[in-house]
Amino acid sequence: MIQQHSLPLVLVLAACASCEGASPQAQDAQSLDARSIHAQVQDVGSRDAWTRDAEAFELDAGLPSDAPAPGPDASVPEPCDALPASEDLESWRAATLLWLQQNGNPAATSERQSGDSVALDGFRAPLGTGDVGPAGIAWLAAIPNFPVSDPSEMVVLEYRQPLEDFAMLVIGRSRVGATEARFFLPLAGLALSRVGSAPWGVASVQVWASTARMDSSSASTLVACTPNEMPPPEPARAQLYAGLNMVQCSVVGSYEYLPNELDEVSFDAGVDWIVRDSRWVVRRRGSVLIGPDNYWPDIEQADCYCNDIAGFDIEVDATTGELLEWVPGVLCVVC
């Protein structure tokens, strides 16, 4: 199923009528959904989007998409017809909550769930005076019944301290057993707090179920189901794209666009693993660049036009070539 990326997202830790070009259609609009801002995290090449209020946070981050490379066999094995399903964290959440409450954290709760993630609040867990990265990983691995008990499978993706007494530690999963992982979502996010110069302590933790519950067999299957060759461009060319015309971020109309042979379809070298409809997908990202000869008179008003480039970011199933999602603009947020 194709999804158009439509936001705003609330995160809490909580395309022309013919192939000759485009024909803008003016429409009144009551509101404009803003696109998310995906910022690259230094040194890990991830994208993240996060907000924070007084009590909670959620992160959308990913591991590098350019490594590791697919295996030497470019064929797609039969198991790829039905890639592994993702699992939830219900049993672990219940057991962990009970453990917390029995060990001096009676206020611990686990009522906040957002998509693939679950948040546990009410911690009073000191991390000591050492480096919070390794300390956070060790603390996470030591939680009874936590799905990932081997600290060597974890890696610090990001550490931020927006306030003197509040910090965020994002932990990823770089390996599943002996298999190098390509998760888009992180493993966990820890909200840290402290008083004055006291050591940091864990105040809440958010865990992404799919990343945490991946087993070695499923990880091996995803690697085997990653073709070496790039996906075919036909699905991306056959898609009728659509978007908004804007002047100073105010909507003044809309447009549709159907690509043709003058447009360029390209894909990134790397892949990542995501869950769609409760099943794993090997995702490859790419773009559709509209050829300058296909530009229409007011294309500069279109949300697909940014920094003198017009086109769409796309995501495809690397195994089947199916177009999964698209968004106007190429590596750009218009408004």
- Whether 23 contacts 242, CB under 8 Å: no
d(CA 33, CA 41): 24
Contact 191, 173 (CB under 8 A): no
Where do runs of H (alpha helix) occur along the chain? 90-102, 132-142, 209-213, 216-224, 234-238
Amino acid at 298: D
- Neighbouring CB atoms inside 10 A of 113's CB total 16
> 187, 190, 191, 176: which is closest to 210 by C-alpha?
187
Radius of gyration of the chain (CA): 22
Q: What pLDDT does 79 receive? A: 65
pLDDT in tens, the chain (335 residues): 555 543 222 222 332 333 333 333 333 322 222 222 222 222 222 323 222 222 333 333 333 334 334 333 444 456 687 788 877 677 777 777 777 777 667 777 776 776 678 888 877 788 887 899 999 999 999 887 788 999 999 999 999 999 999 999 999 999 999 999 999 999 999 999 999 888 999 998 899 988 998 999 999 999 999 988 999 999 999 999 999 999 988 999 999 999 999 999 999 999 999 988 888 999 999 999 999 999 999 999 999 999 999 999 999 999 888 999 999 999 887 77
DSSP 3-state assignment of 301? helix
Reported as a single tens digit per residue, the pLDDT across 184-201 is: 999 999 999 999 888 999
- Contact, 22 vs 257, CB < 8 A? yes
Other CB atoms within 10 Å distance of the CB of residue 72: 6
Q: For residues 108 and 113, what is the distance between their CA atoms, to the nearest angstrom?
A: 15
pTM: 0.70
Structure tokens that stand for 47 in this block: 């994208």
C-alpha 326/C-alpha 24 separation (Å) is 19
Supply the pLDDT for residue 36: 28
Angle at the Cα of 244 from the Cα atoms of 243 and 247, rounded to 5 degrees: 150
Q: Which residues contact 156 (CB under 8 A, 6 or more apart)?
A: 133, 134, 136, 137, 169, 170, 171, 172
- Given a contact cutoff of 8 angstroms between Cβ atoms, the answer to whether 265 and 285 are in contact is no
For residue 143, the model assigns a pLDDT of 84
One-letter amino acid for residue 28 of the chain: D
Nearest to residue 91, comparing CAs of 170, 147, 33, 156? 147
Beta pairing, strands 323-328 & 3-4: parallel
Three-state DSSP class for residue 330: coil
d(C-alpha 59, C-alpha 323), whole Å: 25
**DSSP 8-state symbol, 85:** B
pLDDT at 277: 81
Token reading at 119? 């948040």
Alpha carbon distance 207, 188 (integer Å): 4
Q: For the chain, how far is it from start to end, CA to CA, in angstroms?
A: 26
Asked if residue 333 lies in contact with residue 10, where contact means CB atoms within 8 angstroms, the answer is no
- Tokens 């008179």 -> residue: 297
